[in-house]
Amino acid sequence: MTHEPEETHAGMSESDMRGNLVRLVFQGDPSRLEEFCRVLLAAVPPETAAVLRGSSVTGESHAGEAFDAKGPSTSDLDLTLVGGEVLDWFEPEGFYIPGVHSKPLSDKDPDIAPKLAPLRERLSAMVGRPVNIQGTKDWVMFVREHLMNQPYLTLIGKLEPT
C-alpha cells in the first residue's frame, strides 16, 4: 500500500498542527473544529483558502510563550484568508501592501473589512476568544513559510503552488 507523505509547513506536520488546534482551542473535540470550518466555508468567496497561523497551531508564540500563557482564552486565533476576491472585502486603509496583504481585522482595526465583521464575530463566539482575520495572496504565504519559517494549517480550500 502506498501512502502519500504528510504535508508539512515550515517543518510542522498538518496532523501535529491540527492536534494542537483541537486540544488548545476546541477542548479536544474535533467536531467543533469541523463546525468552525463549515461556518467559514459558507461565508467566504469560492476559490478562497483559509489557514490558521500562530500559537493555536504551533503551541507557542514566535517569542516562545505557550498558547494561553496569560490565562484561559487570552490567546487569539490568526486566521488568514488566501485568494484574490476576499482582498476586495478590505477597505483601502486596511492593507500593509495594497491589494496584496491586509492588516488583520481585529479589535485594533475593527472597521477595515465590514463584510467580514459578522464572520469574525461568529467565529470568535464559537471559540470564546478573538479571531483576527487577515487577507493575502498565495505568494505571501509562500514567503511566510519558506523565508520566515512560519507554519500554517490549511482549514479550507487549497493554496496555489508557487
Task: Report residue 12's pLDDT band, with 50, 70 and 90 as the boundaries.
Answer: confident
What is the model's pTM? 0.92
Q: CA 54, 51, 33, 111: dihedral to nearest 10 degrees?
A: 80
Q: CA 147, 41, 15, 29: dihedral to nearest 10 degrees?
A: 140
Average pLDDT over residues 134-146: 90
% of residues, the chain, pLDDT over 90:
76
Domain boundaries, the chain: 11-156
Give the per-residue pLDDT at 11.
83
Give the per-residue pLDDT at 161.
63
Average pLDDT over residues 89-117: 97
Average pLDDT over residues 56-66: 90
Helix or strand or coil: residue 145? Answer: helix
Average pLDDT over residues 3-18: 82
Give the per-residue pLDDT at 122.
98
Give the per-residue pLDDT at 6.
75
- Please determine, for residue 108, whether its predicted confidence score (pLDDT) is greater than 90: yes
Given its phi and psi angles, is residue 73 left (phi above 0), alpha (psi -120 to 50 degrees) or beta? left
